[in-house]
Structure 1
Amino acid sequence: MLLTKQILAFRPNKMDWIFATKTFLAGMLALYVAFSLNLAYPIWAVGTVFVIANPYSGMTSSKSLYRVLGTLLGAIVSIVVTPALINTPWIFTFFLAFWVGFCLYISLLDRTPRSYICMLAGYTTVIISYNIVYNIDTSSVFDMAIGRFLEITVGVVCSAIVTTTIFPMHIGPAVKTRVSKALQDTRELFEKILIDEKELGNYSTALSSIARDIADIHVMAVHLSYEKSTLQGMTKPLQEMLHQLSMLVSNLVSMAERIKQLDQIDMKYRDALKVANEHIIDFLQRDHDISEFKLNALPESFDQDFAAISASATASQQVMLLSLRMDLRHFIQNVRALKLIWQRIQKGDATLPESVAPLTTNYPSLHRDYGMAVRGGISAFIVVVVATGFWILSGWKAGFMLAEMAAISACILTFMDNPVPALKIFIRGNIYAGVFVFLYAYGIFPYVTEFWQLCLVLAPFVMYCLMMFPHPPLTALALPLLMGTIMGLNLQNRYVLDQVFFFDASIGTVIGPIISVYVIHLVRAMSPDITAQRILSLHYKAIRQALYIPYGVNFRIHLRGMLDRIGILNTKVVQSDSLKKNIHLALIESSAVIDLTRIQELMNKMDDQLSIFQSLADLQSYLDDYFRAKELHQAEDELRNTLLNKIQNIQQEAFVLDDINIAQRLQVSLNNIQSSLCHATFDETAQVHLVSA
């Protein structure tokens, strides 16, 4: 009902009209070329235009390339496998089921637009192979596969010609706007955290939003290589800049947590902090053209400002202030590095400053949900076996349509936690499409004798569906409705509509997705709460791993993956209050992970015969046990109490260390661990004074 109300309330704007007109022209051009070349199934040419349609030319171009590559891979597999297995239907079925499941598994692990290649290769093999079986008496395997590849290529080429020549809309300016907004939001949040104590209560919401923006821009940047805009070719440096920005998010969280601790003790330091904040903001805004040789520069009054802050603070606040000072210094340097990288990107310079260690790897260190990928692959395997088995056992000639639609619907929406509601809309779209096919085939097409007439009668329906594409909630129904209608009409040069096949195919296009819905509901579907709980378990595991990673590029790459996971967590609409709290705490925990590796670094500088060295080793072991318990959803209260007691004992032991620098850094890290990793309240922590010379 909600979707119906949205459709009734839909009013297309100017950009919707432009997008729909361009896409419709590209579709009709593809159909005309396919007719002219006398291709067997021109509907695949026009259907390809609609599937890859996107307001941004870069997204259309990239998806076009991925679709061609996926189709080519699927065609090659079908050519190789079909002749060998066509006479053993059950072995053929299990091979295709395994292939679709494997391709979907790989696709779900690759969180970039190129994942479309693998997913498409899986169900394209099924489509070509089953069409070969259906048309075995009239077509060869090679002709069918080549025909499908040519049809897809025609659609891709026609789409590229139209979208890049008629009012092209580049994604580069949109990416530039999103990046500028993320940097602006980060700066504004920094100002609020240091000035407005009320902002500390909801800073995590704003930072979570920034983390989501980083993840979105990371994906959008992939398309920059496929268009001619000011940011063309800047995908890698832009993604590297986003990696560095995610480090800044962690930095902001750490600052906010230290200020919250300071406020709990005494707020007299706030006046001096505001003065320092004004100097920092003025310094960051003053340098518009940053030199690489001055990236580590600080405001001239930085040391004096912090001396004034320390003088106005109590003795028990000095540990937190030392930590805050370190965070502010890193924040200033990171902001300047980001500004320099962004300046270079906008000038077309893809190089990074020498002092900035790149965090990009050949296989991006982003969150990958192997459990979801496995379940998705298994569900696709079962769907193909059940649907194809029904076709084989029933002897229903048009059952191949059921099996094809089952395979397609088993793949297209598995990136969602629970694809079932969206698949139900997909089924509704196919049902409505059957009605439109009937109306066109028997009410309109008998009077159509010229191509221009065909375009004229298709225009109102096709363009209205296309105008809904730029609006994600409406696309869920518009895309299956449009594709179901176009594919169901099966337009050809010698157009003849087989009434029996029409009804059989219409039934198959509905029953196939229904099979997918039931299998996915049983095997694959998960609530956002379950998904969030699983991601949190991976988060706790990553904290344990950080205990043993020395500080350096590898650690920063590991932390980047953790922050990406936090961004995904914050997209989950969970119902459980405890889960909401844990998701909020996960962001805070990530900000203190660096203190785990600092403990290891400080231990390497100590005499291993000291009692404090063994105490720190025991602390690492306790932390490992604590987060393992959280990872496995076991009771951790007793472990947490033991940890807090151990930390407070080590804080006292730090006073006997001869090296004052090590003692102070140790106190800072221990304070951060107990506050941000163990979430100790003010009453649970002993206010230890800073070790002084």
Structure 2
Amino acid sequence: MSLIKPLLAFRPNKLDWIFATKTFIAGMLALYIAFALNLSYPIWAIGTVFVIANPYAGMAASKSIYRLLGTLFGAIFAVAVMPSLINMPWLLVLVLAIWVGVCLYISLIDRSPRSYVVMLAGYTAVIICFNSIYYIETVSIFDMALGRFLEISLGVVCSAVVNAIIFPMHIGPVIQMRVSKTIQDTQHVFDAILSDEKHQNNYTQLLANITRDTSDIHTMAEHLDYEKSKFKGMTKPLQELLHQMTMLVANLVAMSERMKQLDQIDLNYRQYFQDFHQHINDFLQNESEVKADELLYLPEHFEQKFQQITTQAKPEQWVILGSLKMDIRHFIQNIRAVRLIWQRMQAGDNSLPESIVPLTTAYPSLHRDYGVAVRGGLSAFLTTIVACAFWILSGWKSGFMLAEMATITACILTFLDDPVPALKLFIRASIYASFFVFIYAYGIFPHLTSFWEVMVVLAPFILFCLMLYLHPPLHGLGLPLIMSTVMGLNLQNRYSMDQVAFFDMTIATIIGPIISVFMVHVVRSMSPDMTVQRMLALHYKELRQAIHMPYGTGFRIHLRGVLDRIGVLNTKQVQSQVLKDEINNALIEASAMVDFTRLQELIDKLPPKSALKASLLELQKVLDECLAQRESDSNNRTFEAQLNQQFAQVIQNIASIEDKEIQQRIEISINNIRNSICHIPTDLALNTAHEGASYG
């Protein structure tokens, strides 16, 4: 990836300057105190400031606490295992490699910011153990562990103090803006779906973007407990609001599909639908406050106005209109639930209304890729083994730095689909840093005699690197460049530089990441297309699980996980148009999950020996087989002929049921499943409606 164009186009703004200046002050403060206290490794204090740097106080504070906890757990593990294994280097390496691999695995399956604790605990133990071996004649393992914890604590405290005093920025207002925008976006899509006769917009893509945004906000919400904005302590209600938003997305997807079906049959109903649409908007927009005991309220004359539309529509549209009516009714109730939670949050109330059943669980039902986690943990394990083997067999004293850097780089970027390009940029930054270290160490520092002079000469370089942090194309250069330079300088109270050690360490910091690049490429690296294919397989697996689920809180939590995965899918930069279409279809398919549960509920109400019940059970079986086939090959459609045949059998048997309500509800669910799962065009859809019926 070329950095020349982004660097030439880079123009720091006011926020860049404020962020860089605050972080520089915090770093220099940490370094000064470390010097004053005569701590052994001041670079760990200043390095911590740069690692946890973030423009938002809450995000910086949470990462600070997570860094402290991760360092503590890693230090405890190092102190526990090293004294017993110091004379058995291969066994020590094996234990540390297993520790790193397991920690990284746990970190990768936990998508919350807390995952940083576990990942850091993994490679912190390696840093402490390997540094202790290098300095074994002068420093004990306990002193090394204690020193790292104290110096990192110093960096954390300095960062927190400066962030709290100098132009503090909170993430609360950012979340408020994004939540308000997401709620407005859902209402905008609702209006657009009901008013667009030509279906010019891809509403499925717009709704997938909303799902992606809710996943982003869900992660940001974790930081609210660590700042002083008005949303402090609102993490749980905010996450619940986002869970409720998923039901809105499911409603809107279903509405979009039903409107397309209706319009393909006939547009005459539209002239009556406009008045109904306006009636709903008036009801939703005129509410200044939503009351908890009124969540199930609908606009006045809702049933009568919709019945008028049904009366004027063609008979073959009645089943679809019945489904549309249910979706609109649920949308109104769900949007009011979201508004109520948001309304209470803005008033400072972090409790949920009693009428809303929470979907939040102790372990949130978000997408987790266990396959990637296993491969990530395995790549870190093998990288540690190979790097340490190189160190031990070569007898190279500075090889400890090679092993450290290999392990660290095998961990820090594994959340990416393909970490290799970012790791290559890390290596380039390490090479660039070696030149800066050489210039500072041998050209500038020998002439300095006071701390303020050190500050002055470091300021231009550090400020420039820090200003790259907030620009995604350049962040991958700024952080490794500043960290490699600071660590390479190894600032001490009595500064001295060993030329042989300098070149040894420089070579080690470059070779280490090269080893991790190779291992990650072989074991962990995947293209976005491959990642999407794996995620689509998980998508179809969870659709299968929903076939027999009853409607309730458990199902809604399950649906939340499915829609979250679709949000993640829409962040992938795939090249294949086929995969892009599959991602687009995934959201439509997810909307059929509600009808799976409705169908299961209706099956339980049918007589045991009825032909309709038997055909519905057979339909569930064929659906399961069809989705299982797609799970292994998302493009395989060989089961669809059998599925269509079974749909026809169900439709034929519907007339045998005397209960008209059950009859109508089955027709609605069959239409929705057939359209959403098989993507059947409307001219082949159900036309078995009942004259004068009112659906929903």
TM-score in terms of structure 1 length: 0.99
CA contact (8 A) 1:58 1:227 kept: yes
User: What are the superposed Cα offsets for residues 60-102 of structure 1, whole Å, 9 maximum, x if unpaired?
Assistant: 0000000000000000000000101111111111111111010
The sequence identity of aligned pairs, in percent, is: 60
Structure 1 CA distance for aligned equivalents of residues 672 and 365 of structure 2: 26
Shift of 1:176: 0.2
Counterpart residue number, 2:96: 96
User: In the alignment, which residue of structure 1 is the partner of 2:128?
Assistant: 128
Aligned to 1:28: 28
Structure 1 Cα separation of the partners of residues 287 and 682 of structure 2: 40
SS at match of 1:250: helix
Are the equivalent residues in 2 in contact too, given 1:279–1:301 (CA < 8 A)?
Answer: no
Aligned to 1:608: 608
Q: Deviations over 1:278-318 (max 9, x none)?
A: 11111111112111111111111312221221122100000
User: RMSD of the alignment, in Å?
Assistant: 1.1
Please say if residues 434 and 485 of structure 1, whose CA atoms lie closer than 8 Å, have aligned partners that are also in contact.
yes
Correspondences of 1:248-263 after superposition (within 5 Å)? 248-263=248-263
Aligned to 1:532: 532
How far off is 1:131 after superposition?
0.3
Alpha carbons 2:311, 2:692 under 8 Å: kept? no
- Assess, with a 3 A threshold, how the Cα gap between structure 1 residues 398 and 28 changes in structure 2: closer, same or farther: same
Q: Deviations over 1:654-690 (max 9, x none)?
A: 1221111111000000000100011112343342223
Task: Give per-residue Cα distances to partners, 1:171-211, cap 9 Å, x unaligned.
Answer: 00000000001011111111000001344641112111111
Report if the CA contact (8 A) 2:106-2:373 is conserved: yes
Does the 8 Å CA contact 2:563/2:590 hold for their aligned counterparts? yes
The one-letter amino acid of 2:85's match is L
2:55 corresponds to: 55
Distance 1:352 1:538 in 2: 32
What's the counterpart of residue 563 of structure 2?
563
Q: What residue identity is the alignment partner of 2:489?
A: L
Deviation track 1:247-274 (CA, whole Å, cap 9, x = no partner) reads: 1011100000000000110011111112
Q: What does residue 157 of structure 1 align with?
A: 157
Alpha-carbon offset, residue 402 of structure 1: 0.4
Q: SS of 1:575's equivalent? A: coil
Q: Who is 1:76 aligned against?
A: 76
Alpha-carbon distance in structure 2 between the residues aligned to 1:485 and 1:588: 50
Q: Report the equivalent of 1:337.
A: 337
Q: Which moved more, 1:644-653 or 1:314-323?
A: 644-653
Cα distance in 2 for partners of 1:528, 1:690 equals: 48
Amino acid at match of 2:138: T
In structure 1, the partner of 2:444 is 444
Secondary structure, counterpart of 1:637 in structure 2: coil
Residue ranges of structure 1 left out of the alignment (5+ in a row): none
Give the distance between the partners of 2:495 and 2:404, measured in 1 at CA: 23
Question: Counterparts of 1:537 and 1:619 in 2: how far apart (Å)?
Answer: 21
Letter aligned with residue 523 of structure 1:
V
Distance 2:260 2:227 in 1: 46
- Kept after mapping to 2: 8 A contact 1:218/1:239: yes
Which residue of structure 2 aligns with residue 639 of structure 1?
639
Contact 1:629 1:635 in 2 (8 A): no
Q: Which ranges in structure 2 are unaligned for 5 or more consecutive residues?
A: none
CA contact (8 A) 1:26 1:159 kept: yes
Say whether residues 1:487 and 2:487 are aligned partners: yes
My pick for the range that moved more, 460-469 or 678-687, is: 678-687
Q: Which moved more, 1:411-420 or 1:681-690?
A: 681-690
Q: What TM-score, normalized to structure 2?
A: 0.98
Superposed CA deviations along residues 311-366 of structure 1, whole A, max 9, x for unmatched, are 22100000000000000000001111111100001111111122211111111111
The 2-side partners of 1:274 and 1:110 are apart by 46
**Counterpart in 1 of 2:679?**
679
What does residue 497 of structure 2 align with?
A: 497
Match of 2:393 in 1: 393
2:536 touches 2:634 (CA, 8 Å); kept in 1? no
Equivalent residues of 2:315, 2:687 under 8 A apart: no
Q: Which amino acid aligns with 1:293?
A: D
**Is 1:590 the counterpart of 2:590 in the alignment?**
yes
Report the 3-state secondary structure (helix = DSSP H, G, I; strand = E; otherwise coil) of the residue aligned with 2:3.
helix
Amino acid at match of 1:397: K
How far residue 35 of structure 1 moved from its aligned partner, in angstroms, is 0.8
Between the aligned partners of 1:211 and 1:435, the Cα distance in structure 2 is 45
| SS, match of residue 357 in structure 2 | coil
Secondary structure of 2:688's match?
coil
Q: Deviations over 1:562-595 (max 9, x none)?
A: 0001001111111112111111110000011111
Residue 639 of structure 2 aligns to a residue whose secondary structure is helix
> In 1, Cα distance between the equivalents of 2:540 and 2:140?
55
Decide whether aligned partners of structure 1 residues 179 and 686 sit closer, same or farther in structure 2, where only a CA change above 3 A counts. Answer: closer
Change (3 A) 1:86 1:346: same
Any idea what SS the aligned residue of 1:656 has? coil
- Determine if the alignment matches structure 1 residue 217 to structure 2 residue 194: no
C-alpha contact 1:648 1:685 (8 A) present in aligned 2: no
The residue aligned with 2:4 is 4
Distance of 1:638 and 1:396 partners within structure 2: 60
Please show how residues 195-274 of structure 1 align to structure 2 within 5 Å. 195-199=195-199, 201-274=201-274
Shift of 1:636: 4.4
